[in-house]
Structure 1
């Protein structure tokens, strides 16, 4: 009877949300951003695949790569 609620993760960047969907992650729902109602928040199931895909997208992002190269 004590059913656990699914863990969810909010994504605030539309392009990131679209990339996650393309990689096969399930979109749970969308909602308006409470701080700025003209934007949507994309809500995904928080699971190992989502975390791995977020890491993959972050590592392949050229802006992040440029930042990492300048740090050295």
Structure 2
């Protein structure tokens, strides 16, 4: 099982609300004041990511 990094906090929160498990967080190497949210890579995670990011683009 792989892991998927999410760099946007609001997106990570939406994924958690949809029932996805947060594996861990870590500091962003490029900008240490930000966190990276790491989720187990699943087909459902990718499906929800696509849905959420498409919705963001339309707004």
The two structures have a TM-score, normalised by structure 1, of 0.76
Task: Show structure 1 runs of 4+ deviating over 6 A.
Answer: none
- Equivalenced residue count is 59
Q: 2:41 aligns with which of 18, 40, 46?
A: 46
Supply the distance in 1 between the matched residues of 2:33 and 2:55 (Cα, whole angstroms): 29
2:58 is the counterpart of 1:65:
yes
Within 1, Cα distance between the matches of 2:55 and 2:31?
Answer: 29
Q: Which protein shows a greater Rg? A: 1
Which ranges of structure 1 fall in alignment gaps of 5 or more residues? 1-5, 67-72
Q: What is the TM-score when the length of structure 2 is the normalising length?
A: 0.91
Alignment of 1:1-72 (within 5 A): 6-61=1-56, 64-65=57-58
Structure 2 spans left out of the alignment, 5+ residues = none
The Cα shift of 1:59 comes to 2.5
Higher relative contact order (CA 8 A, sep 6+): 2
